[in-house]
Amino acid sequence: MLRITDLTFRYTRKSPVVLDNISLSLKDGEIGVLLGKNGSGKTTLFKTVLGFEKPEAGQIDFNGKDLLKMNRRERAEQIAYVPQDIQFGDLTVFDTVLLGRLPYFGLKASKEDEEIALKTLKEMGLEELAMRNTAELSGGERQKVAIARALAQEPKLLVFDEPTGNLDIANEQLILKEILRGTKEKGIGVLTSLHDLNEALSIGDVFFFIKDGKIRYYGDSSIVTELVIKDTFDADVSIIEYKGKKLIVNGGL
């Protein structure tokens, strides 16, 4: 579905390379997790996929089409985004989710758009909150509304920057479950970044370890090893097996 080849990016001509010959690919319905230190280039990679930044070199192929040549609305019908800092504009939850239909309706929401927004709200269990103002929501609810808006876009790919950044553990689990449920059934691919390696292991299908703008390692969960983590994060961890699953524990202390 998504195939990035030799992508290179820098903010200005004189500044250092932020993305250095990045290549990666993601299949339909797959969850790809970018792992790397702060400033390693994860967010910049998201921005180029979303078309916010133009790369210096490289191609992005999306289902056989050149993503870099798509216009804004075409791209918005394919790719949805949930940013790290979610901000809402004091609209009702319903209108906020309806905003996700903007690439389709442009000027005025049609009946169909409203129905899709409502259906998405129902699927996410947000129906009760539909007429509430987004300013009155809790952190977990805000995250859910942001996901609902992205899903209302009916994208093929969901880009999700740090989905669990500011959430407590219960909401963290809830959001991860929602992402899985909302995307797996519909075959929507997910490109995300997560700080918590165990969370990453629990939801990811493919992993991309990124350091200094380069992808150092990629593959399924079998590539997640102590050595790879040491090399990417400069952190000492131990990987143990617990109930048949890999568990990463902080081994540096």
Residues that bind other proteins (CB under 8 A): 50-52, 72-73, 75-77, 79-81, 83, 85-92, 94-96, 99-100, 102-103, 105-109, 114, 118, 130-131, 133, 135-136, 153, 159
Cβ 225 vs Cβ 209: under 8 Å: no
In this complex, which beta carbon is closest to other proteins, that of residue 155 or of residue 204?
155
| Least distance CB 99 / other proteins (angstroms) | 6
Cβ 153 vs Cβ 103: under 8 Å: yes
| Least distance CB 107 / other proteins (angstroms) | 6
Cα–Cα distance, 15 to 31 (Å, whole number) = 32
Q: What residues are paired with 246 via a beta bridge?
A: 241
In this complex, which beta carbon is closest to other proteins, that of residue 4 or of residue 201?
4
Return the exposure string of 124-161: e unless at least 16 CB atoms fall within 10 Å of the residue's CB, then b: bebeebbeeebeebeebbbbbbbbbbbbbbbbbbbbbb
| Least distance CB 51 / other proteins (angstroms) | 8
In this complex, which beta carbon is closest to other proteins, that of residue 91 or of residue 239?
91
In this complex, which beta carbon is closest to other proteins, that of residue 60 or of residue 215?
60
In this complex, which beta carbon is closest to other proteins, that of residue 134 or of residue 164?
134
Q: Are strands 206-211 and 31-35 parallel, antiparallel or unpaired?
A: parallel
Question: Considering Cα of 84, then 88, then 92, then 98, what sign does the dihedral take?
Answer: negative
| Least distance CB 75 / other proteins (angstroms) | 7
Question: What distance lies between CA 104 and its chain's CA centroid?
Answer: 21
What number of helices (H) and strands (E) belong to the chain?
9, 12
Structure tokens at 226: 């102590």
| Least distance CB 48 / other proteins (angstroms) | 12
In this complex, which beta carbon is closest to other proteins, that of residue 140 or of residue 251?
140
Read off the amino acid at residue 146: A
| Least distance CB 24 / other proteins (angstroms) | 20
